[in-house]
Amino acid sequence: MTNPFSMKTESVIDALNTDVKAGLTNSEAEKRLAQYGPNSLGEEKKVPLWKRFLQQFADAMVLILIGAAVLSAIMAVKEGGFSGWIDVIVILAIVIINAILGVYQEGKADEAIAALKKMSSPQAKVVRDNIQQLVDSDKLVPGDIVVLDAGDLVAADIRLTEASSMKVEEASLTGESVPVDKDATAVLEDDCGIGDRKNMLYMGTAVTYGRGRGIVVETGATTELGKIANRLSSIDNEETPLQKNLNKLGKILGIVCIAICLIVFVVDVFVQKEAWDEALMTAVSLAVAAIPEGLAAVVTIVLALGMTKMASKNAIVRRLLAVETLGCVDVICTDKTGTLTQNEMTVRKVFDGEKSFDVTGIGYAPEGQVQTEDGTAAPIEGKLKRLLQSCVLCSDAVTPKGDDGRYTCIGDPTEAALIALGAKSGMPKDETNKSFPRVAELPFDSDRKMMTTYHPNIVDGAIVSFTKGAPDIVLGRCIEYFDGEKNVPMTDELRKKIEETNHGYATTALRVLAFAYRTFEGKTSIESDFEHEKDLCFLGLVGMIDPARTEVKDAMAICRDAGIRAVMITGDYKDTAVAIANDLGMMGDGAGSLSGAELDKISDKEFEKVCETTNVYARVSPDHKVRIVTALKNNDHIASMTGDGVNDAMALKSADIGVAMGITGTDVAKNSSDMILTDDNFATIVSAVEEGRVIYSNIRKFVGFLLSCNVGEILVIFLISLIPSSLIPGIATPLTAIQLLWLNLVTDSFPALALGREKGEPDIMKQPPRKKSESIINKPMKISILVQSLAIFAAVCSSFILGLTVFFKDAAAPIEGARTMAFATLILAELFRAYGARSERISVFKLGVFSNKFMNISVAGSIALLLAVIYIPGVNGIFDNIMLAPVYWIPIVLLAFIPFAASEVFKLIKNRK
């Protein structure tokens, strides 16, 4: 139904053809259920496990490896025996293991729809055939008449026809921390935002006070909650920057690999006149050399280690690659309520008609005090005592202490703040109510905007009524004020002072309530009467706010140093949002704010410009949140969204990385996010961003390390294959496929993992975020890879030719000894070079050569494995090695230091420039 909030009740009744008193007939309800379907949210179709497994093979590097395995299998069949199948088994094992890791890495169970369904009320009180009855919520249909009382969950979108003192908790949908007053008689504008629709109730919200009755106008997928579910299921998970970089790298390596393999095969067959099968095996070796088989596994393991480390710091990462994405975030879109603020109303100011007092402490805990403006404790006596008594006695909320030590609110958060104020002043609720029991009351309603309670024992021989409400209304009914001892006639001067104080509080985003009382002399009992809310005696004003978290200011400062912009997106009022933003230092020079209504008037193209300078968005809907995130992403920002409510779910899933609150967050928000903060602390995001930057920096280190080895291997095989046998008799492929696989998988992977455990460099949070378009292999890394690859080629080629022409010249099979020397030289060169790869800018001698204990263990283990595949009989045959005499290790070790030396010299030259 289109905009029922802008229609009169009679028009809604006519449009839905229902009876507001008798409701629908049961037969009509059945017809409508068949027409509209059940009042439930649809399930998102999940990709089956087998399909996700097969999707892992749609990668250029994987397809090349499969091709190499097929060619190796053909050769193995041709040659016969088991040894030829070793290459095939190892290659296929790599492919399958990487596929399993990929499924695990991407296997994110999308439970957002199920969580949304749980928020629906299981049963609703419905009038059908003029009888009130309980009906399963999934059987509700448009036109049903629903009855609601305090404590009920709203099971569908409902247009109110009656509302008595009704308040509804809509924080999870709109972001407002205070329950909203409802007014069935209101008729609103068509462009009215969801947070201002006083005549509507929405599925998934809860009635906290009063009662009401209304007509179901939307069910299932067409409710506001249903629209969120539909949007969630339609949002695809985009590739992270790292995924894009690695996929691009895979395609480039694939193209280069195929091109070089074809060139080598053609040169060997038509120029070198080698047999086609030998030329094919050379091409297969080259294909294996070009693919960094261990890269995917190392990336996965390093990201998983990052996940573990973040979890120990209260940040649970649900999607593996989100760990790295955090490191390049340059805009954090954050919800206000519960994220930047406590989500607990707190009294900040008290005015007794003469003096203004400050109140310390945060939230509902009875910790803090009322103090004078110079910081000393205020004596609780006279008019201040009477004012604080009224705060406690004229409130219904309770603030129980949970098992975890936290004080929570049951009832209206505004009243909970007043109860906490009383407790801080030595007036705990239970004791105060026992001393001054409530004998009558006038409940709050949105028409009067006041609440009154009656109590004995405040004044001897009399009953006193305490009234609280909107300052303008309460003050307008006051003819006196309390001076601490007696009632004194209200003066124009005092009235003006009260109004100015109220205005001053309101401009600092405080929610202000006024308190007054009236004495009924000689009464021992009394009947409540609305006339008693006239001729009141003014007591004072109380200003409260949902305060900013104490640690958020420091976190904001660190974000600014790191080049990260924080943007507040909230359902609260603009003035309140801007006040909180100013307090946190979010509103820098030129920073602006927009309301949801203002945002609706801006085109998408214009908004892409405006969003660059807007740091606060207020009174926004779920669609607005997605639009904001989308505009930022269109401007090439890497946007993070933090939040805790249902209203955040779409934006959480749309953002590059969504961060949900673990304590106050709804299941919907958690299941739509990439990361959950277990302490609901905005500052935890800062440490998570730092960890993400460290991880990306380390990924760059080992990607450069692995690729320089692969390029070096390509140069070794490709260039040596071009040397004619007439120049060097007996020359052949210097490394076999099984040796290259061992090197790429075992020898390189352990040091690469150790590089992934490097500590962050000291100034990592002083650097600007990298751009989304920035390639992982940038210009400096390309030059470094070239230098390293040439150094590796020089070392391995020299070792291979020395073995072939000098050390094993007279052996029965010189190529076996030469290959073993080349194999040992390449492995040691990689292990020594791993120390130089620990930083792209800083010399290893400044870092401390042996300061990374994981590197020391990895290198020692890899050297032990190298000796094993050379000296253990039987094992060395599998890897095409022979035993080397100790003297051969002298040239091997000396040549292996060449790439390490080249790395350190390159860093020295680069730093000087």
CA neighbor of 668 nearest in space, from 685, 654, 653: 653
Pairing of β 565-569 and β 331-335? parallel
Clarify whether 335 is annotated catalytic: yes
Cα dihedral 300/303/309/310 (nearest 10)? -130
Please give the backbone phi and psi of residue 512, each rounded to the nearest 5 degrees, phi first.
-110, 135
The tokens of 67 are what? 């091709």
> How buried is 275 (Cβ within 10 angstroms: 0-12 exposed, 13-18 middle, 19+ buried)?
exposed
CA distance 871 to 148: 82
Active-site hit among 157, 335, 572, 748:
335
CA distance 752 to 710: 13
Identify the bridge partners of residue 520 per DSSP, sorted by sequence position.
Answer: 463
Neighbours of 377 (CB within 10 A): 10
Single-letter amino acid, residue 237: N
Residues shown for the chain: 913
Following DSSP, what letter does each residue of 785-848 receive, concatenated? HHHHHHHHHHHHHHHHHHIIIIITTTSSSHHHHHHHHHHHHHHHHHHHHHHHTT-SSS-HHHH-
CA distance 781 to 838: 14
CA neighbor of 145 nearest in space, from 135, 196, 197: 135
Following DSSP, what letter does each residue of 357-419 receive, concatenated? EEE---TTSS---EE-TTSPBPP--HHHHHHHHHHHHT---B--B-TTS-B--BS-HHHHHHH
- Measured N-to-C along each axis, helices 276-290 and 241-266 cross at an angle, to the nearest 10 degrees, of 160
Cα dihedral 102/106/107/110 (nearest 10)? -170
Contacts of residue 871, defined as CB under 8 A and 6 or more positions apart, other chains included, come to 883
CA neighbor of 406 nearest in space, from 350, 453, 367, 372: 367
Contacts of residue 698, defined as CB under 8 A and 6 or more positions apart, other chains included, come to 302, 755, 756, 757, 758
The tokens of 388 are what? 């604080």
Number of continuous H segments (helices) and E segments (strands) in the chain: 33, 25
> How buried is 845 (Cβ within 10 angstroms: 0-12 exposed, 13-18 middle, 19+ buried)?
exposed
CA neighbor of 698 nearest in space, from 852, 912, 856: 852
The tokens of 349 are what? 């100011």
Please give the backbone phi and psi of residue 689, each rounded to the nearest 5 degrees, phi first.
-60, -45
CA distance 328 to 155: 41
CA neighbor of 60 nearest in space, from 361, 295, 379, 384: 295
Query: Coil, helix or strand for 522?
Result: coil
Contacts of residue 771, defined as CB under 8 A and 6 or more positions apart, other chains included, come to 636
The tokens of 825 are what? 């030289």
The tokens of 132 are what? 């009130």
How far from chain centre, in Å, is Cα 202? Answer: 26
How far from chain centre, in Å, is Cα 581? Answer: 20
Single-letter amino acid, residue 238: E
User: Which sequence positions are flagged as catalytic?
Assistant: 335
